[in-house]
Structure formats: C-alpha cells, structure tokens
Amino acid sequence: MTQRSKLPLGIQSFANLRQRGYVYVDKTALLQKLIQEGEWYFLARPRRFGKSLTISTLEAMFAGRAELFRGLAAEAWVTAQSKRPFPVLRLDMSAFGEIDSPQKLEKGLTYSLQSFADRYDVTLPKETHCDLLLPLLLQAVWQKHGQCVVLIDEYDNPLLSNLEDRHLLEKIRKQLRSFYMVIKSCPDYIRFLLITGISKFTKTGIFSALNNLVDISMEEEFATLL
C-alpha cells in the first residue's frame, strides 16, 4: 500500500515543512517574481491563508538555505543567493501576545530589534524608543553585512486586539504609525520589504507613512501566491 503524503496542517515554518516531508505546493516561482520585479510590498489575506508560511519561505530564500529548495522553482535562485545571504529582520506582531498598553508594544518591538542586533553582532544604545532604534539598527547591519530584508507579519494585530477600546486603539495607532514611518526613511538599507496583515486599515495613517508600498492583495497575477 502506497504511503500517503503528510498534509502540513497549521505548520507555519517552511523549514519544518520541508525537512519533515510534508506536502508543499510550490509557490517559489511567484515569490522569486516578487523579489526580482520590486522591493516594497503589502499583502492582505484572512487568517489561516498562509501569510506566516509565506514570510517564512521568503526568509529562507534570502538566507540562501538552498537545501530546503531542492526540486522547487526557485532552487537555482536560492543556490546563487547562498553565496551571499541577506540579513533578514523578521517581525511577527502576533508574537507579542495581547497588546493592552503602548508600553507592551514598545517592549515587544525593542526586544525583537535587540535580538536581531545580537544575531548580526551589532550594538544598539540602551533605553531608546523602538522607532529610533530601527534606523540605527538597519544602518549598523548595512555597514557590517549589507542591505537588510524586512519581513513584518500580522502588522495589524495590535490594532485588531483593541478595536473595542477606542482610546487605547488611538495610542497604538500613533505608535505604529511612528514606527512604520521610520522605515520609509531607510530605503538605502533595505533590499526587500513585505508587510502582511488581515486587512488594510487605510485610516490609520500607516499607509500614508509608507506610501511607496505596492499593494498586491488584489493583483490577479499573485492571486495564487498563498
């Protein structure tokens, strides 16, 4: 009796999916197209559509983990990339838990940025707000390793967690807008940027701060990306 292939239900790690022999529908040709044709993107999809898996796959592509891409469409691209991998800053806004104060969001972002700095052996000043740390971090990593790749998953999670508290929502909105606005000031240090979320909160000011994002959410050529 032929053994059935394993379905990767709930698996968000591309490395785990490939290393443990799960079924993978190859999306790497479209991801390679994104990388080669542009630089700054936004993508909205509902929950459980594979946004985090897509972020994980891009992280592995830019890191040059060629062993994970054997037999896939982007194998040659990733193999070439393995000779000079990019530093990848991956932020998962859902990993901070329930954001019930601006201080908790600040702490989560600061910890994530500091972890990235430690990984690439750069030093950041202490007791500095995260929106000030970010450009310092990107510049320091650029000077030492070259341009960075920035992948932000579930950008809107802190907002969705506070829809019923308008006062707190406004504080979180302003905090996120300030953080994302800083990204726009760092184009020389960023090779590729993808921000994902469930919805596009057009009135938050985030997208006016990042008005150079290409929104591919409803683009037909990327309809099967996830």
| CATH number of the CATH domain containing 109 | 3.40.50.300
Kindly state the tokens that stand for 198.
């469930």
Residue 9, domain member (yes or no): no
- The total domain count for the chain is 1
Residue 141, domain member (yes or no): yes
Domain that holds residue 207: 26-220
- pLDDT digits 0-9 by tens, 102-132: 889 999 999 999 999 999 999 888 767 888 8
Residue 163, domain member (yes or no): yes
pLDDT of res. 32: 97
Residue 152, domain member (yes or no): yes
Residue 16, domain member (yes or no): no
Residue 146, domain member (yes or no): yes
Alpha helices in 38-84 (DSSP H): 51-62, 75-81
**Angle, nearest 10°, between helix axes 51-62 and 28-37?**
70
Whether the model clears a pTM of 0.85, i.e. scores above it, the answer is yes
- pLDDT digits 0-9 by tens, 15-71: 999 999 899 999 999 999 999 998 999 999 998 899 999 999 999 999 999 999 999
Residue 60, domain member (yes or no): yes
Residue 2, domain member (yes or no): no
* Confidence band, pLDDT 50/70/90 cuts, at residue 79: very high
